[in-house]
Structure 1
Amino acid sequence: MTKAVTEQELVEKAVAPRVTKANIEALMQRVTYTIEQQPGGTTSTFVHAFLDGKFFLATGFSACVNAENFNADIGERLARSNAEKHAENKLWELEGYRLFASAALEQANKG
């Protein structure tokens, strides 16, 4: 089994600027969600995540096989949890690219 990497370990070993968990948590506080339940007897629920209510990050979804088991509250909670995970992953990716691009631009300006 692989030993988990902790934020503390990353902080201790970092020698250059990096995206931190605190950066991502702060951005996640700015994420808003919209809920869409598909009409017409379907059991699909979609939750869309937006940064600052405008920049689309991710969609989470849930569905059940049998309409008799459908519960809107449970569907929304599952879909939102899915959307939150995807939004957080997207923010790590975008912030990582932003840091990379910034460093590349700084390097290009030096040379």
Structure 2
Amino acid sequence: MSNEKQIEQEIQDKGLNAPRLTPNHIDNQIVSEIYITGNDAIHAAASSATGLVRSEYKEGVNLLKPAETLTFCILILRNGFTVTGESACASPENFNAEIGRKIARENAREKIWILEGYLLKENLSKGGAV
């Protein structure tokens, strides 16, 4: 059981029923997911009329090589807003695309908690709720 699920269960067990956010609420805000690596972005930029890659090599060293272990997640929310998360692997030998996507998604999802928390508090301050 994840820490988030354990906390949710504890909140329910204690009967804390005031307006609040739940993991399900956060997940229900996500309508689409996009994952790209730094390498994907480099290739897209290089082949696009609007893309830009400033320096690829210097003194025979591929300056863009570290981007191969960079993963981005774009979450599109129900209202059309987007949040992003990223994951960067320090040791290229440890890079795993699936793990990179999981970490990047979790980092993006954390931003939804912040945004939805603000929205709930704003609505409560006006006498409403989400």
TM (norm. structure 1) is: 0.66
Give ranges in structure 2 of 5+ residues lacking alignment: 43-55, 57-61
Partner of 2:87: 61
Alignment counterpart, residue 14 of structure 1, candidates 6, 13, 16: 16
Is structure 2 residue 75 aligned with structure 1 residue 50?
yes
TM-score normalised by L of structure 2: 0.58
Q: Distance in 2 between matches of 1:70 and 1:13?
A: 43
The alignment partner of 1:88 has SS state of helix
Q: Which residue of 2 aligns with 1:37?
A: 38
Percent sequence identity over aligned pairs: 20
CA contact (8 A) 1:48 1:56 kept: no
CA RMSD of aligned residues (A): 2.9
Shift of 1:64: 4.7
The 3 A distance-change label for structure 1 pair 78 and 36 is same
How many correspondences in the alignment? 98
Q: CA deviation at 1:70?
A: 7.7
User: Which sections of structure 1, spanning at least 5 residues, go unmatched?
Assistant: none
* Change in CA separation of 1:56 and 1:62 when aligned onto 2, cut-off 3 Å: same
